[in-house]
Amino acid sequence: MAFPGVAGMRAGDQPERAVEAVLDRTRERTASLNQLLFGAAVVVMSILVATTPFPGDAALFYAAVVLVFLITGATIVIPWNRLPLPLLAAVPVLDIVAITMMELASPDTGLGLLWIFPAIWLPASFGVVGLVGGLVLIVGIYISTIALTQDHEPDFSTYLLVPVIVAVSGSSFLTARRAAAQRMLLDKQARLLGHALERTRRQEQIVTEVLDAVDFGVIRIETDGSISMANEAHDRLQQTLPQASEGGSPAFRQDGVTPVPAGGLPLERALRGEAFDGQIVWFGEPGADSRAMSVSARRLKDENGGEAGAVLISRDLTGELNALRARDELVASVSHELRTPLTAILGYIDLVIDDDRIPESARAKLEIAERNAERLLGIVADILAASSASQSSVELTITPDDIDIADVLRAAAESLQLRADERNVSFDLTGLEPAHAYADAQRLRQVIDNLISNGIKYNRDGGVVTIGCTVDGDSTWILVRDTGIGMTEEEAAGLFERFYRAESIRSSGVRGTGLGLAISRDIVRAHGGDITVRSYPQIGSTFVVRLPSTRAAAAPAPRVPPRDEEDAASTDEGVL
Ligand code: ADP
């Protein structure tokens, strides 16, 4: 859906053309209106002349009246706006001639007052030229008629008409100038408005084009809950959703089976004024047709900082989530299938090694085979533990006890010494303090082994792995620091995700599954603790593990959250 916008007009030139058209019409109407007004005055005058005794030449008067009617008719039928402006001056000039005829017909009746009409019109339509020309013409004609018609010496009142006409003509000129100035101002404002409209229209078009080009849905909701804007992708996404049944399309959390509680849908939350990130909702009954959407909401503020609605951004995650699910299922089933024959292989190797009849050379080789098979079994176990498909059924169990962390760290360092020597990496254990914790020693060893072996694996030749621990109130802290390749901030952000391996590591040939840290975090969290990392490229990485130091600090009872639940917690609130 495009934005509702200003009607598609060429805003820039439209007002200018409108002003031109208005000027044209004004010119045409000025001619006919002025003349009609004058005509009406002449009609009244004729009625007076016809009904009362007329002191003068009635024939000449009526000839003038006929002339006025003819001029009036002409002003109505002639399209003045298509003729050059000076031609329009013919109308008031002819009017002056007609009034002169009336004045000559009866010099003493004051018919010359009618000159006021052209005296007003001429300066209004033709400016200074109209003012000066009109006054010269009228006053000249008037004085001439006095000279021609008056047989006695004209007194003061005879000339009274002259200042009246000058005053009326002057004021008409000034009024017209003021009107013209106002029109110019209006014209300028119309032009400015036109440009502003054009700019707004162009910006609106750009925003619409950009929003319609992206593949995520964007809608804006107002404070009253109405949707004031939606881009094309939003409409497309809506069409892909399963058709709502009577009670509305069923919605489920990220796991695809837990229904979203009442009021927990993204739109409902946004309408309540919440802002959130990446809420994942499956729409439709679980099956081929259901679609997963990731929705984020942002609050909008008006210029005074008040509520101005919200923007909702939605993305179709169905493909990605289905792929992740398929991967987990595959990983889980392959790991299960591999485990059984591997256990059998290990069992038989054990049996053969225990047999005294096999030669020593064969025993050494069998021991190598056993070590590698055990390693393989370890990897398979890791993969199985990490796949969410298996996690939902097999919970990670821990059996915590009061243990000394320093002992566990020391034992781990000892067992990895050989590997460190191979890389010429040394251990710095000076930071080991007696530190008790309420933890499962076996599980914790898994975490520490992983951290130290990573410290060796991703170190430089001749580097150092610093291992330390301490207690601080309710928390026990473990630190594993290396002087290795380190990571960028972006790489560190994905570190604890399953199967994550930094881009630089993938191409380096260093072997790994990308599971160790994900499992380590699960184990530490199951204890009620956490694991964090600080890393700088080419300087090294520091992993810090926090554990509860006592049973009391470990409450509530530790357990591993199912992975879906954990992901939900890591996004926003629990509703997904
Ligand atoms: P793996 O080591 O088997 O790949 P992990 O889960 O232990 O799996 O580590 C995941 C990724 O994190 C590694 O592939 C590597 O890119 C990065 N990483 C882990 N530890 C370090 C470290 N100490 N220094 C630099 N990168 C590390």
Q: Tell me, yes or no, whether 243 and 355 share the same domain.
A: no
Residue type, 468: G
Last residue of a domain, one of 330, 363, 391: 391
Q: Mind listing the pLDDT tens digit for each residue in 188-203?
A: 999 999 999 999 999 9
Q: Is the CB of 456 under 6 A from ligand 1?
A: no
Q: How many residues does the chain have?
A: 576
Mean pLDDT of 303-331: 87
How far away, in angstroms, is 561 Cα from ligand 1 center?
23
Residue type, 403: I
pLDDT greater than 80 at residue 507: no
**Environment class of residue 360 by beta-carbon count within 10 Å: exposed (0-12), middle (13-18) or buried (19+)?**
exposed
Rounded to whole angstroms, how far apart are CA atoms 346 and 363?
Answer: 14
pLDDT band at 564 (very low <50, low <70, confident <90, very high): very low
How far away, in angstroms, is 524 Cα from ligand 1 center?
17
Of residues 17 and 52, which shows the higher confidence score?
Answer: 52
Q: Tell me, yes or no, whether 33 and 82 share the same domain.
A: yes
Rounded to whole angstroms, how far apart are CA atoms 377 and 375?
Answer: 5
Q: Mind listing the pLDDT tens digit for each residue in 355-366?
A: 888 898 888 889
Q: Tell me, yes or no, whether 251 and 187 share the same domain.
A: no
Q: Tell me, yes or no, whether 535 and 490 share the same domain.
A: yes
What Cα–Cα distance (Å) separates residue 176 from each residue in 35, 137, 558? 18, 20, 92
DSSP 257: S
Q: Tell me, yes or no, whether 255 and 148 share the same domain.
A: no
Q: Mind listing the pLDDT tens digit for each residue in 413-469?
A: 998 898 899 899 999 999 999 999 999 998 899 899 999 999 999 999 999 999 999
Q: Is the CB of 463 under 6 A from ligand 1?
A: no
In a domain, residue 396? The reply is no
Q: What is the CATH number of the domain that holds 341?
A: 1.10.287.130
How far away, in angstroms, is 375 Cα from ligand 1 center?
18
pLDDT band at 186 (very low <50, low <70, confident <90, very high): very high
pLDDT greater than 80 at residue 10: no
Q: Is the CB of 466 under 6 A from ligand 1?
A: no
pLDDT at res. 440: 92
**Total domains in the fold of the chain:** 4
Q: Is the CB of 454 under 6 A from ligand 1?
A: yes
DSSP 259: B
How far away, in angstroms, is 444 Cα from ligand 1 center?
18
pLDDT greater than 50 at residue 81: yes
Rounded to whole angstroms, how far apart are CA atoms 234 and 3?
Answer: 13
In a domain, residue 8? The reply is no
Q: Is the CB of 487 under 6 A from ligand 1?
A: yes
Rounded to whole angstroms, how far apart are CA atoms 573 and 576?
Answer: 8
pLDDT greater than 70 at residue 171: yes
Q: Is the CB of 505 under 6 A from ligand 1?
A: yes
What Cα–Cα distance (Å) separates residue 161 from each residue in 102, 142, 176, 292? 15, 9, 22, 92
pLDDT at res. 575: 26
Q: Mind listing the pLDDT tens digit for each residue in 464-487?
A: 999 999 999 899 999 999 999 999
In a domain, residue 416? The reply is yes
Per DSSP, the residues of 199-227 read HHHHHHHHHHHHHHHSSSEEEEE-TTS-E
Of residues 208 and 83, which shows the higher confidence score?
Answer: 208
pLDDT cut 70: percent of the chain above it = 88
Q: Mind listing the pLDDT tens digit for each residue in 488-500?
A: 988 898 899 888 8
pLDDT at res. 7: 35
Alpha helix (H) residue ranges in 54-160: 58-77, 85-88, 90-105, 116-149
Give the E-state strand segments of 410-549 in sequence order.
426-432, 436-439, 464-472, 475-482, 530-536, 540-548
How far away, in angstroms, is 453 Cα from ligand 1 center?
10
Report the atom number in ligand 1 closest to the C-alpha of 504: 16
Q: Are 176 and 183 in contact (CB under 8 A)?
A: no
296: containing domain:
217-316
Does the bond joining 250 to the residue before it have cis omega, within 30 degrees of 0? no
Q: Tell me, yes or no, whether 474 and 328 share the same domain.
A: no
In a domain, residue 44? The reply is yes
Q: Which residue has the tokens 């956490």?
A: 530
pLDDT band at 17 (very low <50, low <70, confident <90, very high): low
Q: Tell me, yes or no, whether 87 and 129 share the same domain.
A: yes
Phi, psi of 428 (to 5 degrees): -115, 110
Least confident of 18-32, 267-281, 391-405, 458-472: 18-32
Rounded to whole angstroms, how far apart are CA atoms 527 and 303?
Answer: 48
Q: Is the CB of 495 under 6 A from ligand 1?
A: yes
pLDDT greater than 80 at residue 566: no
Q: Tell me, yes or no, whether 490 and 374 share the same domain.
A: no
Q: Tell me, yes or no, whether 387 and 415 share the same domain.
A: no
Can you give the C-alpha Rg of the chain in angstroms? 49
Count CB atoms within 10 A of the CB of residue 377: 16
Q: Tell me, yes or no, whether 374 and 243 share the same domain.
A: no
Least confident of 112-121, 167-176, 504-513, 520-529: 504-513
Q: Tell me, yes or no, whether 75 and 221 share the same domain.
A: no
pLDDT at res. 556: 55
Report the atom number in ligand 1 closest to the C-alpha of 543: 23
Q: Is the CB of 540 under 6 A from ligand 1?
A: no
Cβ within 8 Å of residue 500, ≥6 positions away: 494, 514, 517, 518
Q: What is the CATH number of the domain that holds 513?
A: 3.30.565.10
pLDDT greater than 50 at residue 251: yes
How far away, in angstroms, is 482 Cα from ligand 1 center?
12
| Nearest to 31, CA basis, from 65, 73, 96, 80 | 80
Last residue of a domain, one of 316, 331, 348: 316
pLDDT greater than 70 at residue 208: yes
Least confident of 9-18, 37-46, 89-98, 246-255: 9-18
pLDDT at res. 539: 95
Q: Tell me, yes or no, whether 39 and 180 share the same domain.
A: yes
In a domain, residue 205? The reply is no
In a domain, residue 529? The reply is yes
pTM for this structure? Answer: 0.48
Mutate-to-test residue for ligand 1 from 456, 495, 524, 536, highest number of ligand atoms within 8 A of CB: 495
- Residue identifier of the C-alpha nearest atom 10 of ligand 1: 514
In a domain, residue 208? The reply is no
| Nearest to 403, CA basis, from 445, 369, 340, 375 | 445
pLDDT at res. 498: 81
- Residue identifier of the C-alpha nearest atom 20 of ligand 1: 454
In a domain, residue 432? The reply is yes
Q: Which residue has the tokens 């498909």?
A: 389
What Cα–Cα distance (Å) separates residue 77 from each residue in 29, 33, 71? 11, 13, 10
DSSP 255: T
Q: What is the CATH number of the domain that holds 242?
A: 3.30.450
Last residue of a domain, one of 291, 316, 341: 316
Strand order through the sheet with 276-283? 227-230, 217-221, 307-316, 291-301, 276-283, 251-252
Q: Is the CB of 482 under 6 A from ligand 1?
A: yes
Rounded to whole angstroms, how far apart are CA atoms 87 and 72?
Answer: 15
- Residue identifier of the C-alpha nearest atom 14 of ligand 1: 501
Q: Mind listing the pLDDT tens digit for each residue in 124-168?
A: 888 899 999 999 999 999 888 888 777 667 777 778 888 999 999
How far away, in angstroms, is 454 Cα from ligand 1 center?
6
Mean pLDDT, the chain, rounded, equals: 84
Residue type, 547: L
